[in-house]
């Protein structure tokens, strides 16, 4: 017959955090203003530097500059989607 481990039980270390800190973006605007910005499409990764930077970092590109973003903005919509698809 198998026996369990005896002795003291270890205290739980608590829930493990599996992600980095959340970035509080656009906290200076009210929730209704952010809602209107989102409906207008201004908070997408194609129109906002912070969103673009986070999208690049999620794809693995760590060093982003405003010059890169300005060059990205000059592309048309299809080329922008292709640029993100090919980002490494």
User: Where along the chain do its domains lie?
Assistant: 44-85
Token digits for 1?
């017959």
Looking at residue 28, its pLDDT comes to: 84
Residue matched to tokens 């992600």: 19
The alpha carbon of 13 is separated from its chain's Cα centroid by a whole number of angstroms, namely 27
> Which residue, among 87, 42, 86, has the nearest Cα to 63 in the 3D structure?
87
What is the pLDDT, as a whole number, of residue 70? 92
Interatomic CA distance for residues 55 and 1, integer angstroms: 55
Closest CA to 72 of 26, 55, 38, 62: 55
pTM of the model: 0.54
**Each residue's pLDDT tens digit, 13-49:** 666 766 666 677 778 888 898 888 888 877 777 788 8
């Amino acid at each position: 017959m198998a026996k369990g481990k005896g002795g003291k039980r270890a205290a739980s270390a608590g829930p493990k955090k599996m992600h980095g800190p959340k970035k509080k973006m656009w906290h200076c605007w009210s929730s209704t203003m952010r809602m209107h910005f989102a409906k207008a499409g201004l908070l997408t990764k194609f129109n906002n530097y912070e969103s673009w930077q986070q999208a690049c970092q999620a794809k693995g590109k760590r060093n982003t500059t405003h010059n890169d973003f300005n060059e990205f903005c000059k592309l048309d919509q299809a080329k922008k989607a292709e640029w993100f698809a090919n980002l490494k």
